[in-house]
Amino acid sequence: MSFTAALDAVTLNPVDGLALGPGIIAPLPIFNQNQGAIGRAEAEIEQASWRAIALRQQVTTEVTQAHAQLAQARDSLARWRAEVSPSLDRSVQHADEQFTAGEASYLVVLDATRRAIDGRLRLAELEADVRRALAQRDRSAGGSPR
């Protein structure tokens, strides 16, 4: 909506008090204060605010998950090193002692050795899991890898 002003360029005729002449009609933007663009800008600001909140929640979730994966990988590695690896090494030593004493065939030694090698492979996989979990945690938190 706009307000229209009319200006008469001719002064009043002193004889009959009425004069006709050229004038200017110009709309004055008194009521148009660009509400459409302002409303759109406000909506874009609100949308950006919601996107920022969603992104913050996503980062928090990723960091929490990465931290949990790191804790689980470290726990698995520690248990493997404390319980399984020594057991496999003792198994190889025991099988070798049995073979030396003539109580078992060399196949028992080979089988125990194969299981120990598989255990070392699993240990290397667990160590790699820990390194991956560390990298994922650092990436999620925005830090640089160590």
- pLDDT tens by residue, 58-98: 999 999 999 999 999 999 999 999 999 999 999 999 999 99
How high is the pLDDT of residue 142? 80
Which residue, among 111, 122, 114, has the nearest Cα to 84 in the 3D structure? 122
Q: How many residues does the chain have?
A: 146
Alpha-carbon dihedral of residues 52, 53, 58, 64, nearest 10 degrees? 130
How high is the pLDDT of residue 2? 47
Query: Amino acid letter at 68?
Result: A
Does residue 17 form part of some domain? no
Helix axis angle for 106-141 and 85-101, nearest 10°, is 170
- Asked if residue 97 lies in contact with residue 112, where contact means CB atoms within 8 angstroms, the answer is no
- Asked if residue 127 lies in contact with residue 77, where contact means CB atoms within 8 angstroms, the answer is yes
The H or E element spanning position 117 is: helix 106-141
How high is the pLDDT of residue 34? 80
pLDDT below 70 — which residues of the chain?
Answer: 1-32, 143-146
Per-residue DSSP letter, 18: -
Does residue 39 form part of some domain? no
Does residue 83 form part of some domain? yes
Does residue 20 form part of some domain? no
Residue appearing with tokens 């920022």: 52
How high is the pLDDT of residue 35? 83
* Domain span including residue 127: 62-141
Does residue 123 form part of some domain? yes
Does residue 110 form part of some domain? yes
4: helix, strand or coil: strand
CATH code of the domain in which 83 resides: 1.20.5
Does residue 24 form part of some domain? no
Residue 112 to residue 109: CA distance in whole angstroms = 5
Reported as half-sphere exposure (CB side, CA atoms, 13 A), residue 13 has a value of 7
Domain count, the chain: 1
The H or E element spanning position 66 is: helix 35-79
How high is the pLDDT of residue 117? 96
* Statement: the pTM of the whole predicted model exceeds 0.85: no
Does residue 30 form part of some domain? no
**Residue 27 bridge partners (DSSP):** 4
